[in-house]
Chain A
């Protein structure tokens, strides 16, 4: 939706001009809810078909093999015993205690998704992927968005060259991006929330916002009642400790997903769930992916998998980086998005693809090929010699591989000597 509005606006450059869009927030919310409903209802149906019993209630551990369940729907309590259990309690948005403010103007990622209204101004605290994704949505809908990040760059941890095109675009989309800045206090006033900032580059020390979105990360939901009656261990960060089979220190208890550790990504959790269940069924399995893709669904999207340049630097590992800027991609030019970039991180000795990073529209879709390349231990030559459809953005994978060998068609890089 945000993408559509963006593209419609951009179409001016291509000779097509639309009137300012009108957003019917109720319809938009309705559509979002219908999608969510369809996806979750499907899940219940699947469980039913597989005769999985579904109990809705609050649970507390009695011991390693018993759960006391207070049923939500049916009412009453029941002690349920089990041979094995999989904990998948997920995570919730973190709150900075000093900035806790009980106000309807305060939002976290969950309430922001409810789209209560389109505020005039919005402060996004935290320049991570959640803040940027939601901030982008509101900004496209017409909200003046300000983003404040404590560190020196958006999306800490991601490679800077991937973040740069997004940063440039967000600078236009958002009314301001404040880096190296912390929020000192939040105070509710009649007209909004008064926010005090602190940082070397801060111009206005205080500003008032209609709404504030707190997106400073997520905390694992490991405070499970009665967990202390089992042998499960929880580490300092609040994650349940697990082994490669996703088994906790208590042999009958397994844990998967956000509660079991980074990265907190749904697709990681799904594979972990499979591993745990197969381990329980007696198969010899282990959760040992070579790459877990990470995608930031902003515009442009950022996606990476496997080794990143930042990690390689930290590890002091020698790598070759082959970059293909989308300015040389025909497809990117027709899309008027030449700011994108595809890069491969290649082991200089074996020529294996160890990591892939992409920024640009559709990066989230494109990264899948990168994940496959890493998991299948493809060499740069394998990627380069694989025929990709023309003209598509997927060619940028192939072209980056050719950059590594110094003979990409659409870009000239002198051969390495």
Chain B
């Protein structure tokens, strides 16, 4: 006898799905629990396990079909096993996704009719019923009952403000109110007792009818889904990523209807080169379509252009640690400092402003992590002292920074991902096949970063000479923009001043920066005893988008070891 396998229930509000992949064919045998197909619902792609065992007879669906719960998928010959009725235990639970149905922002009355009136004795209290998906509490705005009042089922008893809407909550019980357990202004949780009754029939609070899912899977929907999945992959819900507009809260500055012949109430702008469906997608993603450069013929904007733009916006916003607004991020307003005393306002021009802009941009874009390590430079220090005169002859100073340049150049060759940049727009990593290292120089005008080119092709004496020369130029304000551009990595040495470690900010679009602090004699456990050793603290900040923590640790360890055993440079560097 042929048994039918029907599409089982997949979860709340999921009634249909698109068949992405069939994993069986006629004649193959299936066993209960074995995945038989992949189904894309509007929440996720899920594998559907068989609830029957046997040999597949006829397959009644094909890939690309829209399947409904209960629809026959295939038949099984000499089938054994339960018939599709209930969901197998092995069924993967679809991940809890944000509600697919946009929650109406309108004040909605919770359907009183949805509460079944099955009288039950026992608990004579009214608990806050479920209000909808993802709503587990709300602020009690208004109580509509008082002790002694009679309530009947379906009668609104309070107004609750959830983060989505203000809802009227109907009673699910009949009787006389004895005691009210909540106060206006309180936060009330689902399941919390609102009031008790003096006897009377009680119907248990049951979740009201859920929103019907919107039966509408179009290309648009698919695009939104794809986008939503991308958002989730980045660890954000769509809600967080793109908070819904609040058109009703306060009508924005009112725009006058435009003159005759144009559409009233609609801001008149040049017709945007995007199809209506693409414009809708942009609106739904909270993107100003006018700010998008179309990639199609005549500047036509595709849905991909919109998604890419939204993604870039999101990336910038996530880095900024803020929810994206459509547009720029305003600095918070400053208080009036004169309230507390005299102040002086000085314009922030030149290097300082440039530094502020650049560092903020770097900080907003790059997820920073700083790795700390220490290098024993006792031996190196002796070598440095020994070779210092040679550098001096060449017109330079054999500093730790000069040596660090050489060490880093070698390390960057071994670890190319530290000599790279990220192109989020194109979703590409750019590996640079040249090693130009910037060195932060403290000048009286502020921080400047001259760049030494092709560091890997120069020896330490040459590097020392060039560094000395560039530092002097920086302090004499003679650096050209070219001399500060094109860096692939940066070194910043605060050792001359002091400190035991710090977190430098990566010099965007580079992906890593090495900070050196003051080296000092420390007791080190060497060969079963403490020895005084000269220790150089190293701080490596890196762009965690590209570089994993383990790689950073290895990279910094490599640098530390190179400092400890300069020989390593000639072997591996």
Contacts and interface: CB of A to CB of B under 8 A. Distances in A.
A286 B283 contact: yes
B275 A375 contact: yes
A243 B254 contact: yes
By size class, the interface of chain A is 35 or more
A247 B247 CA distance: 9
B245 interface: yes
Interface of B is mostly: loop
Interface stretch (A38-46, A102-110, A348-356, A406-414): A348-356
A242 B297 contact: no
Nearest to B255: A243
Contacts of A279: 247
B235 interface: no
A233 B255 CA distance: 11
A280 interface: yes
Interface stretch (B17-25, B101-109, B421-429, B536-544): B101-109
Contacts of B343: none
B263 A263 contact: yes
Interface string B292-306: 000001111100000
A62 interface: no
A260 B265 contact: yes
Secondary structure of the A side of the interface? Answer: loop
B261 interface: yes
B347 interface: no
Contact of A284 (B244, B272, B298): B244
A281 B298 contact: no
A379 B257 CA distance: 30
A261 interface: yes
Contacts of A347: 298
Nearest to B283: A284
Contacts of B255: 243
B300 A262 contact: no
Contact of A249 (B245, B251, B283): B251
Interface in B247-262: 247-248, 250-252, 254-257, 260-262
Interface in A70-105: 83-84
Interface in B266-280: 266-267, 271-276, 279-280
A26 interface: no
Given A290-B272, A306-B271, A374-B271, A83 B106 contact: yes
A281 B102 contact: yes
A352 B273 contact: yes
B275 A282 contact: no
A343 interface: no
A251 B257 contact: no
A288 B275 contact: no
21 contacts: A243-B252, A244-B265, A244-B266, A245-B247, A247-B251, A251-B251, A261-B264, A280-B104, A282-B103, A284-B244, A284-B283, A284-B286, A286-B266, A286-B283, A288-B266, A288-B279, A350-B298, A375-B275, A376-B275, A377-B271, A377-B273
Interface of A: 83-84, 157, 233, 235, 239, 241-247, 249, 251, 260-263, 268, 279-292, 306-307, 311, 347, 350-352, 354, 374-377, 379, 381-382
